[in-house]
């Protein structure tokens, strides 16, 4: 039986003289090695996306992190720092994709920017500079550090007891995560359930309680060195199982 197809929405990137649709290798590898699914990179086509065609083949959606931020217009704010990168084509692709996938019961996993995209797509808002919010930690990485340091354990997150995420991981009280983001959840969208928070109270993981299928979004990067982190493997294993279940149920309905 074929592996489940997991859509991995691309970012837009200028590489040399030409614009490109791009997805980082670590995300693609995490779908293969962690979820045991087949990744399919989805171009950031915005309104040109044939959403029905895309969702017909999808058994899951994984929303990646990115250097770019969700445009503040999409949650009713002015841009705080114009120097930070944006990706309007990705926004125009992923936000309607999120809403449509969740409505269909297609499993959705959001990572970093994807975590923020899901919240905005469903009606939430973001802090555009978490480090400037009174009482909040600085959750950013240091660009001069090696990748091993940037993606290394940075702080703990406290897991909601009895929650879906806690059960997924075997009910730990807390886990250590990396931290490479300047933005974060301000107002949580309706229908979202907090699954983990940082010590400063910032939401670090949530699920969509109103969704008919699997959903999980995390602010950190579980895809990094996926095979070396047991918590990350449990997360991707649960996502992969949900994708296989969706594939099998879709086949039965056909």
Q: How do residues 130-159 score in pLDDT, each as one tens digit?
A: 999 999 999 999 999 999 999 999 999 999
pLDDT of 163: 98
Query: Cα–Cα distance between 47 and 116 in angstroms, integer?
Result: 21
Per-residue pLDDT reduced to its tens digit, 30-60: 999 999 999 999 999 999 999 999 999 999 9
Per-residue pLDDT reduced to its tens digit, 93-124: 999 999 999 999 999 999 999 999 999 999 99
Q: Can you tell me the mean pLDDT for 177-189?
A: 98
Is 117 catalytic? The answer is: no
Q: Which of 117, 195, 204, 223 is catalytic?
A: 223
pLDDT of 152: 97
Is 52 catalytic? The answer is: no
pTM as predicted: 0.97
**Per-residue pLDDT band at 250 (split at 50, 70, 90):** confident
pLDDT of 252: 79
Is 223 catalytic? The answer is: yes
pLDDT at 254 over 80: no
Q: Which of 11, 37, 112, 243 is catalytic?
A: 112
């Amino acid at each position: 039986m074929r592996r489940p197809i997991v859509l991995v929405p691309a970012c837009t990137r200028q590489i040399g003289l030409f614009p490109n649709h791009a997805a980082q290798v670590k995300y693609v590898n995490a779908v293969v090695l962690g979820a045991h699914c087949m990744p399919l990179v989805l171009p950031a086509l915005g309104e040109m996306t044939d959403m029905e065609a895309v969702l017909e083949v999808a058994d899951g959606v994984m929303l990646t992190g990115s250097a770019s931020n969700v445009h503040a217009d999409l949650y009713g704010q002015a841009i705080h720092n114009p120097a930070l990168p944006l990706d309007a084509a990705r926004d125009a692709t992923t936000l309607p994709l999120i809403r449509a996938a969740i409505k269909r019961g297609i499993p959705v996993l959001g990572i970093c920017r994807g975590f923020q995209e899901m919240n905005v797509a469903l009606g939430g808002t973001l802090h555009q500079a978490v480090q400037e919010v009174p009482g909040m930690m600085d959750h950013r990485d240091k660009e001069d550090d090696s990748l091993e340091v940037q993606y290394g354990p940075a702080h703990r997150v406290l897991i909601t007891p009895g929650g879906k995420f806690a059960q997924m991981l075997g009910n730990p009280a807390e886990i250590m995560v990396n931290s490479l983001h300047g933005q974060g959840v301000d107002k949580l969208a309706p229908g979202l359930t907090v699954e983990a928070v940082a010590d400063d109270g910032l939401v670090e993981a949530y699920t969509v309680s109103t969704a008919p299928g699997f959903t999980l979004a995390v602010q950190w990067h579980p895809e990094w060195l996926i095979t070396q982190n047991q918590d990350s493997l449990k997360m991707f294993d649960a996502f992969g199982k949900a994708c296989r279940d969706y594939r099998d149920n879709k086949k039965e309905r056909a």
